Structure 1
């Protein structure tokens, strides 16, 4: 049991699948925003990379810092980022955390966008290794969480997108079975 779990027993660690969906929502938004800066015909999209990094920092650091530990993806999935004290992490910790994750996500997206076969595997592997720790660790922490001493927990405020989608799918199945 972690120190945080002993001090704050009401903080439940977020399930890895919810974390993946929340990060995927944020990552997709940032990638769409950065696609605007793409220049056709260029091998390396420096403008797109710069816009991606800036948008990632704004969405995953500045918004989280100002919004009680929740990015848009975290809000949709009822999650929040906390530090060892159970509070929203300081700007420096959030920047460290998201610098690691954002860099790994950027590598993976560049690999997928380039379509270079084996390079895809090499550039996607670091983000897979980092996030796979969430399934191994009992508190569902990833490597970037361990390094930055943060944790993703279930929040008491949010949109509950997962619950709404489950309820909708149950209603659809019930209507089809009639």
Structure 2
């Protein structure tokens, strides 16, 4: 008779693929900026840059997410959060599995951008990224292959910078002023 009813908050909405892509792009650019520290002029293969990129990617997408309630810097800027199937921040193993796949795709993208590849080479190097991310556009839960491997999902949240909304406000203000 004296049972207390718990109010369960409504589930967070899933993040749209474009929002997830923007967050990943921000993290990629940050890791790329760090990787410039490992650049060796004149070297045919930039092993130091690749190592620094992987360390930066792991730091941003695994260590930072693990300590920051499921948000990398890009996720924080775009108001999205990574959660596991139980609605919690994924454990360290799941994050590592997930980001190993995405890190390899990001590294291949870095190679394309650094070498200015053309034609078939670009398609060959970007194919893993496209194969990994394409299911997000057709799956009703917007899960990519790396989400399925890590048993994670990306949700909208109310904890972040709201970069997309701030850019829209700036653009509308600029349009009014012009």
TM-score, with structure 1 as normaliser: 0.91
Query: Aligned-pair distance for 1:89?
Result: 0.1
In structure 2, C-alpha distance between the alignment counterparts of 1:112 and 1:168, rounded to whole Å: 30
Q: For each residue in 1:5-54, what CA deviation from the matched residue of structure 2 results, as whole angstroms up to 9, or x when unmatched?
A: xx985121101111111100000010110011111111111111111111
Give the structure 1 partner of residue 31 of structure 2. 30
User: What stretches of structure 1 of length at least 5 have no aligned partner?
Assistant: 1-6
In structure 2, C-alpha distance between the alignment counterparts of 1:44 and 1:109, rounded to whole Å: 13
In structure 1, C-alpha distance between the alignment counterparts of 2:10 and 2:94, rounded to whole Å: 23
- Pick aligned residue for 1:162 from 154, 164, 167: 164
Give the structure 1 partner of residue 128 of structure 2. 126
In structure 1, C-alpha distance between the alignment counterparts of 2:157 and 2:46, rounded to whole Å: 37
- For residues 13-92 of structure 1, the aligned pairs below 5 Å read 13-92=14-93
Moved over 6 A (4+): none
Query: Aligned-pair distance for 1:115?
Result: 2.3
Give the structure 2 partner of residue 150 of structure 1. 152
Give the structure 2 partner of residue 174 of structure 1. 176
In structure 1, C-alpha distance between the alignment counterparts of 2:56 and 2:21, rounded to whole Å: 19
Q: For each residue in 1:101-147, what CA deviation from the matched residue of structure 2 results, as whole angstroms up to 9, or x when unmatched?
A: 01111011112211232212100121022112111111111111011
TM-score, with structure 2 as normaliser: 0.91
Q: Please state whether the residue corresponding to 1:147 is helix, strand or coil.
A: helix
Greater radius of gyration (CA):
2
Q: Please state whether the residue corresponding to 2:134 is helix, strand or coil.
A: helix
In structure 1, C-alpha distance between the alignment counterparts of 2:59 and 2:113, rounded to whole Å: 23
